[in-house]
A and B are shown apart, each in its own frame.
Chain A
Amino acid sequence: MDPFYSVEIKGVTKRFGSFTAVDQVSLAIRHGEVFSMLGPSGCGKTTLLRMIAGFERPDEGRILLNGVDITDLPPNQRKVNTIFQNYALFPHMTVWDNIAYGLTIAKRPKAEIHSEVDRMLGLIQMEDHAYKKPSQISGGQKQRVAIARALINRPQVLLLDEPLAALDLKLRQRMLIELDNIHDEVGITFIYVTHDQGEAMSLSDTIAVMNRGQIAQTGSPKEIYEAPRSSFVAAFIGDTNFFEGRVSDVLDPEYSRMQVDGLPQPLLCFNDKKIQRDSLVYLSLRPEKFRIAATRPEVSERQNLLEGVVEDIVYLGSQTKYRIRVGEYILAVYQQHSRFLLDEKTIEWKDRVWLWWHADDGFMLENYSEQDEAIMEISGDATPG
């Protein structure tokens, strides 16, 4: 028994006909953490979750729960429970009977079932709805009943399959906080599958970004966002601008110059990966890392400065999104509104503006594929021209 890892996935592969849904995936999930599997639809995240739950059998590899091999166990013998995407509450049973189902199956004493169900109803604040049918309660309430129904079995791991996808935005934000509170209260491992980066970022201790059946990157939300290891991760998590170019000058171990076709000058880049001179590289730069001004600013030697023309302005209250043409590129630039000064010169459509950023804020990436651009176009509005 390994006390450190709650769930271990070792070289798991699952094929459906000729399609490989999960391809040689290995993961180790620590006790009590919220672990998210994040990726576009069809990336294999749900299949992986279903294999942990026991609904699918891996073609290769093993799955361990608390160090014990559970690969060959049927779902009813695994100490894990699932929150299904559409809750899957039993429509012919009351809320009370739904929550009690697991204990009834386990043939626990009546008195124990009663006290446990009542405790769960208290936890989800649904005491007044115990004798309603699932059809008579709201989406958010169904969600809470599904959580109670799973937690009453005291699972070692709770699996959540896009649990908020069916809820509207406001409710989703509230349930996200509730899920976080419930996790704090029960302290068990949560494995959370979602395609929504916002959900994953706000809830998770660790995120595994998946693409085409493989893990693209595993790390804390911050690592994933600030240090994406591939253009796929950079494009899928948040919005970004990509520059394509060649390393023209390795200055010292930390920095390099990058020659970009279509830009008037080379860019200074942070190069912790020690990419060699003349290598083809791609620079990922988050839209909020830019500063923007109508007048030429003073910049330090570690900062890059570009001059461009405003193509588009979208005012969103908390921030403004600009699209700025620089050379052959159209860059996405987001500015938070930290102050509002009447005498400040506002930036308007077709204005000449200056963009600058610190070299440390960009990320030079090794690989890049056309596929990622498509994902970026779907998920965000930052597209390089």
Chain B
Amino acid sequence: MTKLNRNVKAWTEWLVTLPSLVWLSLFFLIPTAVIFAIAFKPVDLVGGIGEGWTLATIRSLANPNYPAIVWRTIWLSMATTAICIALAVPCGYAMARAPEAWRQRLLLLVILPFWTNFLIRVFAWRELLHPEGLIKQGLLALGLVEEATQLLYNDGAILLVLVYTHLPFAILPIYAAAEKFDFRLIEAARDLGARSLRAFWNIFIPGISRGVLTAFLVVFIPALGSYVIPDLVGGTTSEMLGNKIAQRTFSDRNWPHASGLSALLTLAVLGPMVITLMLQGRVRTRAGDRA
């Protein structure tokens, strides 16, 4: 190839990439940079952003209440992700093994909840978990809980609703991977002496690892940023980082502080994302070899 041809090719690649680059810069990179920058600005008296630069906000992030909130945010997100994946793997397996005609119907059932507004679904959970609600009364009738047991306004309620809202996002990528999985491999493992569960663990799980990694990404990151769910079904002592950011933005009118927290969250999200992308890269090279 001549040098001119190479140049033309390089330029065409640039031109093709340009629109998405502009889009990402305008609506993602620059706003993120602005939020990071605001964290280094002082607060002015009327709740706006003051002149000059300061490290005061960064120092104030060492608030003794924060470690508990950060910890709760992380463990709730981790637990949500773990439960979602644990439920989604058998779901994806069952859907992929279902007869062809049934798969579409089951897939429809998975995305059916999205036809109802997210807020309404969270409010519905409030009704269900309410002391006079269906679930509480039902459990009471079965003698599984006592009258005084509070189902609503605690970490448990947040976890339950987080799992409920994120489960479809875990099922979809895992089902997509399971559908491409060659189930004869499980027969081969059984033939070689593996019990069903062993074959499932040794052969099926590695076979759908890419789907599981994607599920991890699309559940864990949104869960970290949860704000509406802890606000509506959580109690005063079960705040997550998202609630703190909202409080600093709307009630306290301390934008630099809110930006500082947001920056913290962004950095916290970047960590698992980079790890997942690296893992996925490895899986992809493996899959690429296969082709």
As a 0/1 sequence over residues 30 to 62 of chain B, the CB contacts with chain A under 8 angstroms (1 = contact) are: 000000000000000000000000000000000
Interface membership of A374, Cβ < 8 A: no
Beta-carbon contact of B290 and A135 below 8 Å: yes
Beta-carbon contact of A84 and B187 below 8 Å: yes
- B205 smallest CB distance to A (angstroms): 10
Distance of A150 Cα from B193 Cα, bound (Å): 10
Interface size class on chain A is 20 to 34
Q: Which of A104-133 contact B (CB under 8 A)?
A: 105-106, 133
Q: A55-B187, A133-B289, A136-B289 are in contact. Are A92 and B193 (CB under 8 A)?
A: no
CB closest chain-B residue, reference A136: B289
Beta-carbon contact of A101 and B290 below 8 Å: no
Interface membership of B272, Cβ < 8 A: no
Beta-carbon contact of B206 and A53 below 8 Å: no
Distance of A135 Cα from B185 Cα, bound (Å): 15
- B189 smallest CB distance to A (angstroms): 7
Contacting residues, chain B, for A84 (C-beta < 8 A): 184, 187-188
- Could you say which of B184, B189, B286, B289 contacts A101, with CB atoms under 8 Å apart? B189
Beta-carbon contact of A88 and B188 below 8 Å: yes
Interface membership of B68, Cβ < 8 A: no
Beta-carbon contact of A81 and B192 below 8 Å: yes
Interface membership of B72, Cβ < 8 A: no
- A312 smallest CB distance to B (angstroms): 44
Q: A76-B195, A102-B193, A135-B291 are in contact. Are A92 and B188 (CB under 8 A)?
A: no
Interface membership of A149, Cβ < 8 A: yes
CB closest chain-A residue, reference B195: A76
- Could you say which of B187, B192, B209, B290 contacts A105, with CB atoms under 8 Å apart? B192
The interface of chain B, by Cβ under 8 A from chain A, is 182, 184-185, 187-195, 198, 202-203, 206-207, 209, 286, 289-291
The interface of chain A, by Cβ under 8 A from chain B, is 53-55, 74-76, 80-82, 84, 86, 88-92, 101-102, 105-106, 133-136, 149-150, 153
21 cross-chain CB contacts under 8 A: A54-B190, A75-B190, A76-B191, A76-B192, A76-B193, A76-B195, A81-B192, A82-B188, A84-B188, A86-B184, A88-B184, A90-B188, A92-B206, A101-B194, A105-B189, A133-B290, A134-B290, A149-B192, A150-B192, A153-B192, A153-B193
